[in-house]
Amino acid sequence: MEYYNYLKSLHIIFVLTWFVGLFNIVRLFVYQIEASEKPSPEKEILQAQFKIMSYRLWYIITWPSAILASIFAFWMLFFTDLGNAWLKMPWMHIKLGFVFILYLYHLKCHQIFRQLQKDEVKYSGNYMRLFNEGATIILFAVVFLVVLKSAFNWIFGVVGIILFSVLLMLGFRFYKRIRERK
């Protein structure tokens, strides 16, 4: 039990860096997609630079952070007494569901990353801006579930996440209108 707080600290650090990577990689996708619409030679120069930046972010920060966050989570859940107790609690099952969705989001980012590395643009910049909010929603859901562990509070948390998602979508539409006016 004395090493539990070290595991927890390392888990939190790598979850943070994982999210930083996810937030920034999708932002780079937006820039790379928008660069594909520029005239030559600006297009080629920007795309080459964004490919390098994306590659380094994805393989040096995001993937290692995802793996290390998962290792420390697995260690806490299955090799500590407290983790074994948490696995019996309903809020943890819901949190693990959101973590599963996060892995799916990460894998979708990997697919988009590989496409853009091959200069295959299948999504618009606006789509990727909206897609970027997926990680934000997952982050809010997981943090609220961890902090508000009781059954009554997490129900309000899920409702709050839905309302937060609606606000994000409205904000996105508002931002899109501002961008289109320019």
Structural domain boundaries enclosing 165: 4-181
pLDDT given for residue 1 in this prediction:
64
- Is 95 annotated among the ligand-binding residues? yes
Directed axis angle between helix 90-117 and helix 4-35, to 10°? 40
- Is 108 annotated among the ligand-binding residues? no
Residues 40, 88: Cα–Cα separation, whole Å = 58
pLDDT digits (tens, 9 = 90+) for 131-170: 998 898 899 888 878 887 765 566 676 777 778 778 877 8
Token digits for 52? 């390098």
The band of 177, judged by pLDDT with boundaries at 50, 70 and 90, is confident
Q: How many Cβ atoms sit within 10 Å of the Cβ of residue 100?
A: 10
The answer to whether the bond into 41 is cis (omega within 30° of 0) is yes
**Left if phi > 0, otherwise alpha if psi is -120 to 50, otherwise beta: which for 124?**
beta
The amino acid occupying position 53 is M
Phi, psi of 116 (to 5 degrees): -70, -30
**Taking the model in full, what pTM does it have?**
0.85
Share of the chain above pLDDT 70, in %: 95
pLDDT given for residue 92 in this prediction:
87
pLDDT digits (tens, 9 = 90+) for 19-45: 999 999 999 999 999 999 999 999 999
115's CB contacts (< 8 A; 6+ apart) are 121, 122
Q: Work out how many domains the chain is built from and give that number.
A: 1
End-to-end CA distance of the chain: 58
